[in-house]
């Protein structure tokens, strides 16, 4: 009798463990986020209009409007309607973006140690009871963001993370006048930029692109977007800093414009405009633990990668050097007499740079004839170059300036 009761007790315990495991199933978002691609490029959401073209076929002059401005331009007079006047000019070019997308989630199934200790007589089962393990699966989700129109053919700039893994994109024009389906032309995860397109049936309001390199710290700017689903909201602030590397964000991203204009979830992809009504950045991120610290991608960075977005080809060319900003003490040690420049600290084995003869302690002075004044400027230039592009580098070494030519290669994927 006692033996039979013991057997029944064991089966009851096993049943309770299984019930605990089933009832203890939890679902959490995948931690990989943007690294996971769940929608194939062959999906109908992608626009293939330019897939047969090459970089040489693209005429960027027709892609966006850019005002010709001199170094000295008239100051904007500030009065009680200054911001309202700017918003009135640009609001028609700002859009709200709603997406249906695939999300990777994890169902954690099993028994946790805390659950086990509450069930008596289970110590002998520790070796066979699985603790909670993640089981990935795909789920449909929804997201919102912002964007802005850059030409009358319906091309819109936004953030890559706004339309990541989208299966359906809806664009709502200013003041909810009309909704359009959109397709993805191209995305670039490194700079977090994306180009989408709608088929308009009337003339669109186009926002001109400015020159983010001319922004001054303290200059007034406006951020326009769709924060928290509140359509077409406007916030004002100043440029707090430029060439900022944002803490907590991927190091692969370029430098940012830092602003105290409020940028909340849903504002991502909207324009950061100056008081001349020109887009100087794409609102993209905010540090959750700070107040009034937002970041925008400089519009000049977007211009550099625009050919990649148009063709949907964002593979970068590989040179194979590790470089850092040139510090004054290192410039003195290497007897470098010029201003600016970038220091090479390492050259990868069998890389195009090594084949071209580059060495550590070389100082890059110019790229394709353009002086390299700052490290971030060189980094921005390199991110816009694809494999097979030929480079001409002016390099300072041992008191002489050398001209080194190299061809970027496609880097083999590492295991």
Residues 249, 355 share a domain: no
Residues 339, 223 share a domain: no
Token pair in block for residue 118:
């509450």
Residues 386, 340 share a domain: yes
Determine whether 226 is exposed, middle or buried from the number of CB atoms within 10 Å of its CB (0-12, 13-18, 19+).
buried
Distance set, CA 299 to CA 112, 127, 282, 394 (Å): 49, 57, 7, 27
Domain with 268, as residue range(s), is 212-309
Catalytic residues: 161, 192, 268
Distance set, CA 386 to CA 56, 307, 348, 410 (Å): 12, 10, 18, 8
Residues 236, 188 share a domain: no
Q: Is the dihedral of CA 85, 90, 95, 96 positive or negative?
A: negative
Residues 274, 157 share a domain: no
pLDDT in tens, 381-403: 888 888 889 999 999 999 999 99
Domains of the chain: total: 3
Residues 232, 188 share a domain: no
24 pLDDT exceeds 60? Answer: no
Q: Among the three residues 309, 333, 361, which one is the final residue of a domain in this structure?
A: 309
Q: Is 285 or 240 the better-scoring residue by pLDDT?
A: 240
Which positions ≥6 away from 357 have C-beta within 8 Å? Answer: 404
Residues 287, 342 share a domain: no
Place of tokens 């900022």: 244
Q: Nearest CA to 149 among 95, 85, 89? A: 95
Number of H helices, E strands in the chain: 7, 19
Residues 86, 145 share a domain: yes
Identify whether 92 is part of a domain.
yes
Residues 393, 328 share a domain: yes
Return d(Cα 304, Cα 55) in angstroms, integer: 12
Return d(Cα 101, Cα 139) in angstroms, integer: 8
Return d(Cα 270, Cα 152) in angstroms, integer: 18
pLDDT score of 120 = 56
List phi, psi (to 5°) of 397. Answer: -150, 125
Residues 347, 297 share a domain: no
Poorest-confidence range of 112-116, 329-333, 358-362? 112-116
Identify whether 245 is part of a domain.
yes
pLDDT in tens, 129-184: 555 666 665 667 788 899 999 999 999 999 999 999 999 999 999 866 789 999 99
CA atoms within 13 A on the CB side of 60: 14
Identify whether 314 is part of a domain.
no
CA atoms within 13 A on the CB side of 316: 17
Identify whether 237 is part of a domain.
yes
Poorest-confidence range of 49-58, 68-77, 157-166? 68-77
Number of C-beta neighbours around residue 91 at 10 A: 15
* CATH number of the domain that residue 399 is part of: 2.30.42.10
Return d(Cα 379, Cα 298) in angstroms, integer: 13
Return d(Cα 33, Cα 219) in angstroms, integer: 34
* CATH number of the domain that residue 291 is part of: 2.40.10.10
Q: Among the three residues 274, 309, 344, which one is the final residue of a domain in this structure?
A: 309
């Amino acid at each position: 009798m006692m033996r039979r009761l013991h057997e029944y007790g064991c089966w009851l315990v096993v049943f309770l463990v299984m019930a605990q495991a089933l009832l203890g199933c939890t679902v959490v978002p995948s931690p990989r986020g943007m690294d996971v691609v769940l929608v194939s490029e062959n999906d109908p959401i992608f626009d293939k209009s330019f897939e047969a073209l090459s970089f040489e076929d693209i005429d960027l002059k027709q892609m966006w409007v850019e005002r010709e401005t001199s170094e000295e331009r008239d100051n904007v007079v500030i009065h009680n309607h200054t911001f309202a006047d700017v918003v009135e000019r640009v609001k028609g070019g700002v859009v709200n973006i709603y997406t249906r997308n695939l999300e990777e989630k994890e169902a954690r199934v099993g028994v946790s140690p805390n659950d086990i200790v509450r069930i008596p007589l289970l110590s002998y089962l520790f070796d066979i009871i699985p603790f909670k393990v993640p089981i990935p699966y795909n789920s449909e989700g929804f997201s919102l963001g912002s964007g802005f129109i850059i030409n009358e053919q319906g091309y819109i700039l936004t953030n890559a993370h706004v339309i990541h893994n989208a299966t359906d994109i809806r664009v709502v024009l200013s003041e909810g006048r009309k909704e359009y389906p959109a397709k993805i032309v191209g995305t670039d995860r490194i700079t977090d930029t994306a180009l989408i397109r709608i088929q308009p049936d009337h003339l669109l309001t186009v926002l001109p692109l400015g020159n983010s390199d001319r922004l001054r710290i303290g200059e007034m700017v406006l951020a326009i977007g769709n924060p928290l689903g509140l359509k077409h909201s406007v916030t004002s602030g100043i440029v707090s800093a430029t060439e900022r590397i944002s803490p907590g964000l991927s190091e692969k991203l370029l430098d940012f414009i830092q602003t105290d204009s409020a940028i909340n979830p849903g504002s991502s992809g909207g324009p950061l405009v100056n008081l001349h009504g020109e887009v100087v950045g794409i609102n993209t991120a905010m540090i959750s633990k700070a107040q009034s610290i937002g970041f925008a991608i400089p519009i000049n960075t977007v211009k550099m990668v625009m050919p990649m977005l148009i063709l949907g080809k964002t593979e970068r060319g590989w040179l194979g050097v590790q470089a850092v900003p040139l510090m004054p003490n290192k410039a003195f040690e290497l007897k470098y007499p010029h201003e600016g420049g970038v220091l090479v600290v390492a050259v990868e084995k069998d890389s195009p740079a090594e084949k071209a003869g580059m060495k550590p302690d070389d100082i890059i002075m110019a790229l394709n004839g353009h002086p390299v004044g700052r490290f971030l400027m060189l980094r921005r230039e390199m991110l816009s170059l694809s494999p097979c592009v030929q480079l001409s580098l002016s390099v300072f070494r041992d008191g002489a300036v050398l001209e080194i030519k190299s061809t970027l290669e496609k880097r083999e994927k590492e295991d």
